[in-house]
């Protein structure tokens, strides 16, 4: 069978870009490596496996919200748009919207090239009437609709509470870039995880099967493989906890002993118990998130939640005037 036709714009980060950011993150205190580097091919697979664990409620809850309100969403968004999805991953959730929205084109964007290609081809095969224009890019740095895509009113789809991986200022900056991408009157449909009991959050980010631990540790494996580093994977452990003061789940890799590691010819010493901070996942109330969105020039049009108030899906529209927040954004730093 011939492969379905997709157009792929390739701006995949180079090993040199990985090296620059990893070295900078290991030199600073506290040490920090941005979560976008989780998503090599294995990391993307492990993330998909996380979404299947019983503890990780966001994915199944957001899907239930999208299914329950698909008709309302379609009525509010309308048909014929260019539907853009930054961080599209496996393109699972967008499938729930495509029949109702009937976009004229779908633009998945992801940092993981092969994962993107496979996912985009599957969407193109399942929805033969849909033009798919994929863009392999680090959307935290560069977010542009490929020139090959048609003109049309733009709608951005940013599910999964990926916005939580920015700190609130970074989130407002990122949303301002999205507002510019969709333009005046443009829409954003975005999933945002809600604040809840810390025990639920702690379990969601430290599942008993150890999938999230493997996902976190895969970062060190990737750095060993791609940058010729010598992290001893047996000497690091996964740690995740809800930081109530800052309203975020933090993930760390903790050194279990005093050790030295070579990365790109540079030696880094870690004391026992010292950690590399690898991810923040901010949680919001509906009102707090709407306040962040307003700073970026968006106005709330609708919000849907599940009966247990675990997760929210917001529909936001760009105001006619210019956005307030500055453009340019990067994921949250400690």
Shortest gap between Cβ of 275 and ligand AVI (angstroms)? 16
CB 58 within 8 A of CB 161: yes
Among residues 19, 33, 50, 156, which is the contact residue for ligand AVI, using CB under 6 A? Answer: 50
168 binds ligand AVI (CB under 6 A): no
Could you tell me the two tokens for 75?
Answer: 């009525």
For residue 52, the minimal CB distance to ligand AVI (Å) is 12
Asked if 34 interacts with ligand AVI (CB under 6 A), we say: no
Cβ atoms < 10 Å from Cβ of 122: 17
Give the nearer residue to ligand AVI in terms of CB position, either 33 or 50. Answer: 50
Q: Which is nearer to ligand AVI, 2 or 208 (CB)?
A: 208
Spatial separation of the C-alpha atoms in residues 21 and 33, rounded to whole Å: 7
Contact call for residue 59 and ligand AVI (CB under 6 A):
no
Cα separation of 107 and 86, whole Å?
Answer: 8
139 binds ligand AVI (CB under 6 A): no
* 205 is a site residue for ligand AVI (CB under 6 A): yes
Name residues whose C-beta falls within 8 Å of residue 68's C-beta, 6 or more positions apart in sequence. 304
Q: How far is the CB of 249 from ligand AVI (least distance, A)?
A: 7
Window of 78-86, 137-145, 162-170, 255-263 that interacts with ligand AVI by CB under 6 A: 162-170
Q: Does 90 bind ligand AVI (CB under 6 A)?
A: no
Of 191, 150, 195, 193, nearest in space to 316 by CA: 191
Contacts (CB under 6 A) with ligand AVI, residues 250-309: 279, 281
Binds ligand AVI by CB under 6 A, chosen from 212, 255, 275, 329: 212
Does residue 218 belong to the site contacting ligand AVI (CB under 6 A)? Answer: no
CB of 4 to ligand AVI, least distance (A): 26
Residues 142-161, interacting with ligand AVI (CB under 6 A): 160-161
CB-nearer residue toward ligand AVI: 188 or 323:
188
Tracing tokens 């929205």 back to the chain, one arrives at 101
How far from 146 is each of 19, 60, 109, 239, CA to CA, in Å? 27, 31, 10, 39
- Candidate list 103, 164, 170, 247; residue touching ligand AVI; CB under 6 A: 164
In terms of CB distance, is 162 or 312 closer to ligand AVI?
Answer: 162
What is the total residue count of the chain? 334
Shortest Cβ distance from residue 47 to ligand AVI (Å)? 6
CB of 222 closer than 8 Å to CB of 37: yes
Q: Which is nearer to ligand AVI, 13 or 89 (CB)?
A: 89
Least separation in angstroms between CB 160 and ligand AVI: 5
CB of 3 to ligand AVI, least distance (A): 28
Q: Which residues bind ligand AVI (CB under 6 A)?
A: 50, 58, 160-162, 164-165, 205, 212, 279, 281
């Amino acid at each position: 069978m011939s492969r379905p036709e997709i157009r792929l714009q390739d701006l995949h980060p180079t090993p040199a870009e990985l090296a620059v950011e990893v070295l900078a993150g290991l030199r600073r205190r506290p040490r920090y490596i941005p979560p976008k580097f989780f998503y090599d091919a294995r990391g993307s697979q492990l993330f998909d496996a996380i979404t299947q664990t019983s503890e990780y409620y966001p994915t199944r809850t957001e899907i239930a919200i999208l299914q329950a309100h698909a008709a309302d969403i379609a009525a509010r968004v309308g048909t014929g748009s260019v539907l853009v999805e930054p961080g599209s991953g496996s393109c699972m959730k967008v499938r729930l919207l495509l029949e109702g929205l009937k976009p004229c084109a779908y633009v998945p964007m992801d940092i993981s090239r092969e994962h993107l290609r496979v996912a985009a081809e599957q969407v193109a095969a399942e929805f033969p009437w849909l033009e798919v224009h994929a863009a392999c890019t680090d959307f935290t740095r560069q977010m542009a609709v490929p020139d090959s895509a048609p003109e049309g009113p733009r709608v951005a789809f940013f599910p999964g509470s990926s916005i939580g991986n920015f700190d609130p200022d970074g989130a407002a900056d990122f949303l301002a870039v999205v507002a510019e991408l969709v333009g005046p009157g443009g829409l954003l449909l975005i999933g945002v995880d809600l604040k809840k009991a810390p025990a639920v959050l702690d379990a969601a980010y430290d599942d008993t099967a150890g999938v999230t631990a493997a996902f976190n540790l895969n970062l060190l494996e990737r750095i060993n493989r791609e940058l010729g580093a010598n992290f001893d994977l047996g000497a690091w452990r996964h740690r995740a906890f809800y930081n109530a003061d800052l309203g975020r789940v933090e993930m760390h890799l903790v050194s279990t002993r005093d050790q030295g590691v070579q990365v790109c010819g540079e030696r880094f010493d870690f004391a026992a118990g010292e950690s590399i901070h690898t991810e923040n996942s901010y949680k919001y109330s509906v009102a707090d998130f709407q306040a962040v969105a307003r700073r970026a020039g968006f106005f709330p049009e609708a919000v849907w939640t599940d009966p247990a108030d675990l997760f929210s899906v917001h529909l936001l529209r760009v105001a006619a005037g210019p956005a307030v927040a500055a453009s340019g954004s990067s994921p949250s730093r400690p």
